[in-house]
C-alpha cells in the first residue's frame, strides 16, 4: 500500500467516524448538543445583504444550477472525446445524491424551522445534501478542468459557503452539514482510490 493509499484510507475512516458519531445519537432519538447554540449564533449574524448573498450561494448547490451545468459539461466533454470525465461527473454526483437521499429516508430527522419566511424543504434534514453532493460534484469538475491542487482551496471554500448558507437560512442543523462534509471527504477519497488517482 502506497503512502497515498494510506492517507486516503485514513481520510475515509476519520470521515466515517465523524459521520457515525453524529448519526448514532440521532438514531437513538437524542439531540446533538452544539446544534441549537451554533444555529442561534449563526442566525445572529443576519443582515439583509448577507441574506441575499446566502440565498444565491445556496442556489449554486441546488439541482436548478448543478443539473444544467452538468449537462453543458457532459456535452462539452463528449464533444472533446473526454468520455471518462463525463462518466465520472454523472456517476459520482448521482451516486452521492442517491446515498444522501437514502440516508435521509433511513434516519428521518425532521428539518428545523427555516428563517426569513422561506418555504420549508420537503425532504428530511440529515445529512445535508447541499454539503455532500456539490462538494463531490465540484471536486470532479475541478480535477477535470485544471490541475486539482490549484482548485482544491476553491472547492473547499465553496463547500464551506454552501454549508454555512444552509445553517444561516435555517434549512439544516449544523450537525447535518458536518455529516455532509464528512461523507464528501469519504466519497472523494474512495473514488480516488478506485480510480487510482491522488484525491488532492
The backbone torsions φ and ψ at residue 178, rounded to the nearest 5 degrees and listed phi first, read -60, -40
In a domain, 180, yes or no: yes
Element (H, E) at 78: helix 63-79
Residue 66 has pLDDT above 60, yes or no: yes
Is the pLDDT assigned to residue 45 strictly greater than 90?
Answer: yes
Mean pLDDT throughout 74-96?
Answer: 92
Each residue's pLDDT tens digit, 103-116: 999 999 999 999 99
pLDDT, residue 41, reads 97
**pLDDT category, 100, cuts 50, 70, 90?**
very high
Query: Looking at the predicted structure, is the pLDDT value of residue 52 above 60?
Result: yes
> Residue 135 has which C-alpha cell?
462538494
Mean pLDDT over all residues of the chain? 91
CA-closest candidate to residue 135, choices 27, 45, 82, 60? 60
pLDDT of residue 145: 74
pLDDT at 163 over 70: yes
Q: Catalogue the long-range contacts made by 190-193 (C-beta closer than 8 Å, 24 or more residues apart).
A: 190/8, 190/12, 191/88, 191/92, 191/136, 192/8, 193/5, 193/8, 193/9
Q: Indicate if the pLDDT at residue 57 is higher than 90.
A: yes
In a domain, 124, yes or no: yes
Domain membership of residue 200 (yes or no) is no
**Better pLDDT: 110 or 196:** 110
Question: How far, in Å, CA of 7 to CA of 29, rounded?
Answer: 34
Query: Percent of the chain beyond pLDDT 70?
Result: 94
Set of cell numbers at residue 83: 468520455
Domain total in the chain: 1
The domain containing residue 146 runs over which residues?
3-195
**122 within some domain:** yes
33-61 b/e (C-beta count within 10 Å ≥ 16 → b): eebeebbeebeeeeeeeebeebeebbebb
Amino acid at each position: 500500500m502506497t503512502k497515498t493509499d494510506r492517507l486516503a484510507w485514513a481520510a475515509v475512516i476519520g470521515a466515517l467516524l465523524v459521520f457515525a458519531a453524529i448519526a448514532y445519537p440521532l438514531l437513538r432519538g437524542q439531540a446533538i448538543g452544539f446544534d441549537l447554540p451554533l444555529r442561534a449564533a449563526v442566525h445572529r449574524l443576519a443582515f439583509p445583504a448577507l441574506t441575499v448573498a446566502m440565498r444565491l450561494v445556496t442556489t449554486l448547490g441546488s439541482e436548478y444550477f448543478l443539473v444544467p451545468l452538468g449537462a453543458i459539461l457532459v456535452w462539452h466533454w463528449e464533444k472533446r472525446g473526454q468520455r471518462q470525465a463525463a462518466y465520472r461527473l454523472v456517476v459520482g454526483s448521482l451516486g452521492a445524491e442517491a446515498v444522501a437521499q437514502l440516508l435521509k429516508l433511513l434516519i428521518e430527522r425532521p428539518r428545523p424551522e427555516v428563517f426569513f419566511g422561506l418555504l420549508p424543504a420537503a425532504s428530511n434534514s440529515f445529512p445535508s445534501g447541499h454539503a455532500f453532493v456539490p462538494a463531490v460534484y465540484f471536486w470532479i469538475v475541478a480535477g477535470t478542468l485544471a490541475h486539482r491542487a490549484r482548485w482544491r482551496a476553491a472547492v473547499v471554500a465553496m463547500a464551506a459557503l454552501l454549508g454555512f448558507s444552509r445553517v444561516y437560512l435555517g434549512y439544516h442543523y449544523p450537525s447535518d452539514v458536518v455529516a455532509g462534509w464528512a461523507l464528501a471527504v469519504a466519497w472523494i477519497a474512495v473514488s480516488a482510490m478506485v480510480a487510482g488517482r491522488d484525491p488532492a
